[in-house]
Structure 1
């Protein structure tokens, strides 16, 4: 197993976790905010998927699935198309309302794009610096691990909220 295989496995685990979190939930359950201001399951899944889409598209030098495949139009959110949810306030979090099918469809599309990208990454590509604005500079591998870590945290938060719904 090489580093790319590990990343493929990690992102596939996120995909399965997202599917389990969304399974059988109503739109109201997906939009539920535990204390009235916390992140909803819909927002958490949308956000983790948007960040993955944004960052992998940047690494691959392609457009984001959100825009190129029409997901922004399907969701119809009152947010700019480039919005990933970073820094959202209470009103913006509340604006992210979507069905489980829509969230899962977008997530699956982003996962497919991520897998395609990773299958084309060579071991040497992973050590390439992709962002010099950090100290130390960020390599392709570090950026991918960062996305994976963010995804895992947010899907864990969504699973926690799901558990509170029971």
Structure 2
């Protein structure tokens, strides 16, 4: 899934979007994923992140750009400085950027990526059993609308 930094800017199928901050692409129909997006917005006191539901036209375009199945929105994507991270790498990076005890997530890098992503995939496959679907993506109303893309 490696692509050149900012490659989405020259992909005509990806609508232009503000990428001056990191963008987190998440499954907006999943209660666990939406909860993670809300947690990111709540704890991101330095406004480092924007969030984007994968179901949006931009989210789907980014999935296709990174050669992911836009019918299976289980992959968490972080786009930071034009580069994309996926699954556990993305989750660890976001946690580290949030600071506080979240930075301890960086310790997970000692676990081999294949094992981390296998655990990620297991949770992703079962996430809708754990917390079900939501009929609509629910984010924080008090958050600056500029931090929510899509």
Same fold (TM over 0.5): no
More strand by share: 2
When Rg is computed on C-alpha atoms for both structures, the one with the higher figure is 1
More helix by share: 1
Q: TM-score, normalised by structure 2?
A: 0.29
